[in-house]
């Protein structure tokens, strides 16, 4: 079974992840994992954490001499800021004086603080925010980087870009794979349109000055996906549903759309469904358009997979919103600690990982095999079947 889990608090010693179900014999590029971790940290409008630490993953198990063993892979990303938090976050019982405890008692609207505090019956909402924080997604990206390496072995690439930020431009950008691949790694907002990006950057500056925050929309595109991943047969095998859950689980993502998604509901069928063609030379079916975003009936159809994630604005505002002190029940400004103005490009990178993990999982289900060689033989046999269809 292909699955992963993460552990770790935002200011704890480290984040860890265990990824199970990779085939044996896959070459692992550790620098690629670190590069992905850095990509998650970039982006205009992020807070100060990138300046403190540049994430690096250490592989603790499951890889030997550069190749996967087929056993669980453990990854660890240390929190370099731990040195400043050892008292506050220590696992041992200790008496930290109140002025040094960094207790959180003024919940932030839009964050997990209050609902989590009530649920877990803790009067220090740091117990909640330390895990709710998007820092946890660094561990997901480390796993996602391994999933991407498996996918690349089968010709699949996954990329993301920002198509709208704070409502700019009015209509979310629609761009080709080639345009997405031409985005420079250091583009401030991972956007294909320079003019739109300049407006977005100016808006981020304006909201930063005002102590406010912004949301936006990213799109993840996966290319080279074989037709036939996922299944129409049961609700939880439909790949669109699995992708939606994976992308929705990213903190602050509040809507997920596949292909034309939301827009499709207001258009007639003739402007939505992708007409079918056949390419004699390649012996494969084609589509004149791709509004379905590569999925029909919960099954990949061989077109580019296109998944959008809509982020709400960051909930920690420097110009804090109204809240209530949980001790006194008096109105107070919500708590504030170092925070991003926007994180849409980073969320796109995290979503690349989540999409890669879902696709890798679907590939493992369909093609099985204990080793990469066995998986490839099964894959090649299926490709042959498709050519004869």
Ligand X SMILES: Cc1cc2nc3c(=O)[nH]c(=O)nc-3n(C[C@H](O)[C@H](O)[C@H](O)COP(=O)(O)O)c2cc1C
Judge residue 277's burial from the number of C-beta atoms within 10 Å of its C-beta, 0-12 exposed, 13-18 middle, 19 or more buried. Answer: exposed
Nearer to ligand X, 75 or 314 (CB): 314
State yes or no: residue 347 binds ligand X (CB under 6 A): yes
Nearer to ligand X, 131 or 273 (CB): 131
State yes or no: residue 9 binds ligand X (CB under 6 A): no
State yes or no: residue 144 binds ligand X (CB under 6 A): no
Q: Please report how close the Cβ of residue 136 comes to ligand X at its closest, in angstroms.
A: 9
State yes or no: residue 117 binds ligand X (CB under 6 A): no
Q: Please report how close the Cβ of residue 347 comes to ligand X at its closest, in angstroms.
A: 4
Determine the interface stretch with ligand X among 108-116, 175-183, 323-331, 362-370 (rule: CB under 6 A).
Answer: 108-116
Q: Please report how close the Cβ of residue 303 comes to ligand X at its closest, in angstroms.
A: 27
- Interacting residue with ligand X among 21, 47, 169, 224 (CB under 6 A): 47
* 3 state DSSP class of 202: helix
- Interacting residue with ligand X among 77, 163, 180, 343 (CB under 6 A): 343
State the binding string over 246-285 for ligand X (x if CB under 6 A, else -). Answer: ----xxx---------------------------------
Report CA-CA distances (Å) from 168 to 28, 161, 171. Answer: 39, 14, 8
Q: Which residue has the tokens 């299926």?
A: 382
User: What is the size of the binding site for ligand X (CB under 6 A)?
Assistant: 19
Residue 192 · residue 164 · CB < 8 Å: no
- Interacting residue with ligand X among 34, 149, 192, 316 (CB under 6 A): 316
State yes or no: residue 111 binds ligand X (CB under 6 A): yes
Structure tokens at 354: 């989540």
CB count within 10 Å of CB 337 equals 12
Q: Please report how close the Cβ of residue 134 comes to ligand X at its closest, in angstroms.
A: 3
Nearer to ligand X, 347 or 360 (CB): 347
Q: Please report how close the Cβ of residue 353 comes to ligand X at its closest, in angstroms.
A: 11
Nearer to ligand X, 139 or 250 (CB): 250
Query: Which parts of 118-137 interact with ligand X (CB under 6 A)?
Result: 132-134
State yes or no: residue 346 binds ligand X (CB under 6 A): yes
Q: Please report how close the Cβ of residue 322 comes to ligand X at its closest, in angstroms.
A: 16
Closest CA to 357 of 12, 13, 17, 46: 17
Nearer to ligand X, 64 or 254 (CB): 254
Structure tokens at 327: 């001790």
* 3 state DSSP class of 256: strand
State yes or no: residue 30 binds ligand X (CB under 6 A): no
* DSSP code string of 86-125: HHHH-SS-----HHHH----SPPTTSSHHHHHHHHT-S-T
Report CA-CA distances (Å) from 17 to 67, 213, 235, 388. Answer: 18, 30, 28, 41
Report CA-CA distances (Å) from 110 to 116, 123, 168, 323, 378. Answer: 12, 18, 22, 11, 47
* DSSP code string of 258-312: ETTHHHHTTS-GGGTS--EEEETTTTEEEES--TTTTEETTEE-SSPEEEEEEEP
CA distance 109 to 124: 16
Q: Which residues bind ligand X (CB under 6 A)?
A: 47, 110-112, 132-134, 250-252, 314-316, 339-340, 343, 346-347, 350
């Amino acid at each position: 079974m292909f699955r992963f889990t993460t552990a770790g608090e935002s200011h704890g010693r480290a984040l860890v992840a265990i990824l199970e179900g990779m085939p044996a014999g896959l070459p692992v590029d550790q620098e690629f994992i670190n590069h992905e971790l850095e990509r998650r940290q970039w982006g205009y409008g992020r807070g100060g954490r990138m300046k403190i630490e540049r994430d690096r993953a250490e592989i603790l198990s499951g890889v030997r001499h550069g190749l996967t063993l087929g056993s669980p892979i453990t990854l660890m990303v240390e929190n370099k800021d731990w040195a400043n938090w050892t008292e506050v976050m220590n696992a041992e019982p200790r008496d930290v004086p109140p002025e040094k405890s960094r207790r959180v008692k003024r919940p932030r609207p839009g964050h997990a603080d209050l609902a989590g505090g009530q649920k877990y019956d803790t009067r220090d909402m740091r117990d909640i925010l330390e895990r709710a924080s998007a820092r946890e997604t660094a561990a997901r990206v480390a796993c996602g980087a391994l999933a991407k390496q498996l996918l690349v072995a089968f010709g699949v690439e996954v990329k993301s870009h920002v198509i709208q930020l704070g409502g700019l431009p009015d209509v979310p950008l629609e761009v080709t794979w080639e345009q997405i691949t031409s985005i420079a790694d250091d583009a401030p907002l991972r956007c294909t349109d320079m003019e739109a990006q300049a407006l977005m950057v100016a808006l981020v500056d304006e909201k930063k000055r005002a102590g406010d925050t912004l949301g936006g929309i990213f799109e993840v595109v996966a290319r080279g996906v074989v037709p036939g991943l996922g299944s129409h047969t049961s609700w939880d095998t439909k790949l669109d549903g699995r992708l939606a859950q994976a992308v929705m689980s990213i903190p602050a993502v509040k809507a997920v759309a596949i292909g034309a998604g939301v827009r499709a509901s207001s258009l007639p069928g003739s402007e939505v469904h992708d007409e079918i063609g056949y390419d004699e030379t390649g012996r494969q079916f084609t589509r004149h358009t791709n509004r379905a975003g590569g999925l029909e009936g919960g099954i990949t159809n061989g077109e580019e997979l296109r998944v959008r994630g809509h982020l709400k604005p960051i909930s920690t505002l420097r110009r804090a919103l109204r809240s209530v002190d949980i001790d006194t029940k008096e109105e107070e400004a919500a708590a504030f600690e170092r925070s991003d103005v926007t994180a849409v490009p980073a969320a796109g990178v995290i979503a690349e990982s989540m999409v890669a993990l879902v696709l890798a999982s679907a590939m493992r289900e369909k093609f099985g095999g204990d080793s990469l060689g066995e998986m490839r033989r099964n894959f090649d046999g299926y490709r042959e079947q498709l050519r004869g269809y």
